[in-house]
Structures are given as C-alpha cells and as structure tokens.
Chain A
C-alpha cells in the first residue's frame, strides 16, 4: 500500500486525466454533501425538540386540579377540587420508591419593594426539591431548605431579573425586602434556562405561604420527579395509576380530566422519542439512497475510465505488469478519489451547517451538526465504495488477454 512509485503512477494518471478525475470526484462529493446536510438538519430539529423540554427536568410529573366536569357519587359538576398537605403526604408515602423529587407549589402574585423600587412578581411557594425539578441554578446564596420550611421562615430566593430590577448592580443577598407588607430576607439569587419569565419568579417556603395566605393547608399543585431508574413505560404506568388512585381518594369521577390530571413528561418523551426515531429512519433511508446513487455514479465513471484505459493496461501487461498490479493501481486511484472528494463534500457540508448555526431557529432547526460517528461511518462507506467501484471493472480489465487489450481503441 505504501509504495511511493505506485502513488507516483496514480498521481500522474489522475493529473493527466483531470476532467475524468474531477467528474468522478464530483459525484461522490455531491452525494456526501447532501448526506451531511440532511443529517445536520435533522440533528438541528432534534436539538430544537430537546431544547423545548430543557426548562424542566426530563422526568417531571405534575398533579393539577381544577373543577369537576362530571358528577360522581352524588357530588355535583363544577365542584372546586383542592389539594391539601395530606394529599402531598399520601403521594409521598404511597409511591415513595418511584419518586426521586417531590414538591408542592402554591402560586400567588406578590408586590415586592426594596427602598424606592417596587414591582409585582409571581410567587411560587415550594419544597426544597423544587430546585432540581425546575433546574434552578443558584447564582448567589442558597436555595430553600427543610429548616426554612419547619420554621416557616420569612425568606425568599429571587430571580436574577428581579435582582436587576430592584437592586441594580448592588448586592441583594441578606437584604430585607417588603413583600405584601411583610419583611422578608433574600437568601439566594437564581437563574434559569427557561427564559425571562422564569427569572422573574420568587420562591418562598410552602409553609410560610400557607401561614400568610389564610393559615390553611392548601396547595395549588404537586410536582414530582419520577425515579429515573423507571423505564418510560413504567413511568407512564406509574403516572396513570397515581391519577386513578388520587381521583378515587378525592371522590372524583375516574375519567374526570378537568378535576384532576397528572401531566407526565414520560409520555411526551416517548412521543418525541418515537417522532425522532421515525425522522432518523427516514433520513437514513434517504441518506443511504443518496450515497448509493453516488456510489453508482462513480462505478459508472470507473467502468468508462477502465474501458478507455484497456489499451494502456494491455501495453503495461506486455511490458510485464502482473494483473494484480493493474487491479491494485486502479483500486487505489478510485479509493483516493472517493476519499478526497468525500472529504471535500463532508467539509463543505459541515461548513454550511456551521454557517447556518442559529439562523434557522425559527424553523425549529437549531445548531445543526453531524456527529463524529456519522462522519466516520460515511468515510468508511466511501472507502468501501471506492474499493468496490474500482475493483469490479479493474478485475475484469486485468483479466482481458493482453492481445485483446492491445487491439482495443
């Protein structure tokens, strides 16, 4: 393989027959370019989908309640369903081994004032696990802890943008702010990948909120993170069972979606997973088709090239070339052209994808790129293609008797 003279022969042959070499190279380069773009765009779509769910944990589940829409056991339609601490504890005990994180949520709108500045923000009163479910990133200070809950402490964790609104460049940590007339201590500042709205939230212990708002045990919502060891199907089954159990416990019609429902990311994940799988399947089929077309293209050109060179092979054989040396020469030339052309196509494709970058985000294509695995796979395919495209016709040409080859024109 590493025969300098052989390479010299090949470079000479390619160089002296540029049009032919460029043509065969072009077919391959174009096929690989299309292949790369196709894969890149689908990976861009896939990135957009992943991003759409990036705000919350992938294993998030939400128990939501509203009003009954079906009469049940003598209870009327339109009854308001209320979650309480007891329901929270029930879920915790009943499904302990299936749950990774659990938090309650109470939603309120609050007015926060610091010195001369004030504005209205959305409050979430939560348990400490909320941090992991919401993927809250603590920039300064700390998040809520169990002790805050137990002591019903008047503490707040505020979003990065609230800090900017009220404190500007000045530090907010350990400052006291006025929330709906009460004094609260800022114990942490957070950021969140979910966007500006998420960063204008304020968190307080759920117990503090219950004390402040009517001194009851009401909660608005229960959020869970299911045990990540569960398979998607097991997680979906868990969500369905919990939904049935809770409806039964709270005297709700078993099919009343409006009264109580469990939103389960596992279901969305499964849907997206299936969608992406089908998309990739289509791309693999179309992409392979493109590659095959490229391979057939180069095979055609190689057949033509070898026909054109039959006489040359005859001369070489009369001068003492062994058939293997002719086959080797042609195959090496073919592999060289396919590999170089393939890399050109691949590089151009990658370059175009890099240029696209975020510009097509409106069309749900984000950061399109091809993975190294695909690049390596395509390269191996190329080399194999070059090998086959060169070998088959060259073998035939090398087996023609020199006398016939010399007669060819």
Chain B
C-alpha cells in the first residue's frame, strides 16, 4: 500500500539546510496498523506529511497504492488525498463554523457528491463513532474526545485506503485516549490501513507494528504483542 525507498528530506534554514529524513525505507502492506515512534525532531511528522501528500520529498521513491508519487501539482495531490487518504490531526482541525455532520460531510463535497447523499453518509459515520446525537453541534460544543471522533469519522467518510493519524491522542486524557485507540483498532479490524504517529509507548503498544525513528533514520521495526496475539 505504501512503499518508500531511500527517502530524503531537508528543510532550508537560512543559508543552511536541516536534513530531517536521511534515507528511509519502509513498506506498509494493506491492512496493517503501524505506529511511528520517535522523540520530537526525529522526523516522524515530516514522514507522515510526505506520506499524506501534504509535503514533497527531495530524493527517493514513494509509491502510494502502487502509483509513483512524482511531480505532483496541488490539484493532482488534492485529488489523490481525497481518494486514498484520511487525516486525523492532533489538534482535530475541524472547521469551527460547521456542525459535526457538516465537517464530516466536507470531504464528500470535494468528491462532488450531492448534499442530501453526503449528509446521510456523514450521519452514518457519526453513528459509527457514537456521536449521532451530536450531529448538529458545533465543534466548540464538543469535548476533546468527541472532536477527535468527529475527525476520525471525517477521515473515514470517503472510504480511504489509508488513515493517517498525527498524534491523534496528543491532546486527550488517558480515558479518551483509550476510546480513540479502540476506534482506530476497530477500523483496522475492518481491513483499513492505519498509520499512527505518536511518542507515547502505551499508544504504540496497541498497534501491530512499531517503527522507531531517531535523527531521520529507522532504528527498529518490529511487530508488537498485539499483533502476535492475533
């Protein structure tokens, strides 16, 4: 599903440049539940942004769903994101003036679906994350855990190939963290590829494969107990 070969990425800082990713090789198959661990500055967010087509790599090859990602313009990237990827962010990134159901329906709007249909599908997904009764509430009327569940529903609504989660539990307490992780596990059980970035061991333990990143290189890549238990 995701295949990365010798990926490099640097950011210019003034005259110098900061080499963030120093040759990453990673292969994630369909249906995997992978977490990327690493301290801040290890390059894990950069990796996710490149995988999520939110940023462009400098060197190496990146295949998404078998397609080589190269010379993408904004328009093509937007189409691919809409088609293959669902995003869950640490800060939820819901649009503040839209209700929960409208937020969930937004990716479908960019898919070109009509309003009635997309609101109906959005409602189904809200039900799936247990927030049907909160459909017409604005984000600031929801708790952090609820917001993240809305964001997950939004990530799932287009039936993407991969769900990318950037510190999805970073802003949540331990109880809500568990409920969000349970949700991600349930999604994975349905066969969806889930790609989580975290710095919390407890979160990583709940995924099936942990990739540890340090200073822009992979230092370990192993399956967890959770995976072996299955």
Contact = CB atoms under 8 A, between A and B. Distances in A.
A314 B93 CA distance: 9
A12 B55 contact: no
Counting chain A residues whose Cβ lies within 8 A of the other chain, the interface size class is 20 to 34
Contacts, number: 67
B223 interface: no
Contacts of A9: 109
B55 A403 contact: yes
B54 interface: yes
B34 interface: no
Given A17-B97, A319-B110, A325-B110, A401 B78 contact: no
- What bracket does the count of chain B residues touching chain A fall in? 20 to 34
Contact of A319 (B49, B74, B82): B82
Given A399-B74, A403-B49, A406-B93, A318 B54 contact: yes
Chain B CB count within 10 A is highest, among A317, A319, A398, A402, for: A319
A401 B72 CA distance: 12
B81 interface: yes
Interface string A365-377: 0000000000000
Interface in B141-182: 154, 158
B97 A318 contact: no
A241 interface: no
A316 interface: yes
B98 interface: yes
A8 B82 CA distance: 21
Highest count of chain A CB atoms <10 Å: which of B81, B95, B97, B107 = B95
Interface string B68-83: 0000001100110111
Given A5-B109, A320-B107, A401-B54, 11 more contacts: A314-B93, A315-B93, A316-B106, A317-B74, A318-B87, A319-B87, A319-B106, A322-B75, A325-B110, A398-B74, A399-B74
In the A-B complex, the 4 residue pairs with the closest CB atoms: A320-B82, A16-B97, A320-B110, A403-B54
26 contacts: A4-B115, A5-B109, A5-B114, A12-B97, A12-B98, A317-B81, A318-B52, A318-B87, A318-B93, A319-B81, A319-B87, A319-B106, A319-B107, A319-B154, A320-B78, A322-B74, A322-B79, A322-B110, A323-B78, A324-B75, A325-B110, A401-B54, A401-B55, A403-B54, A403-B55, A406-B54
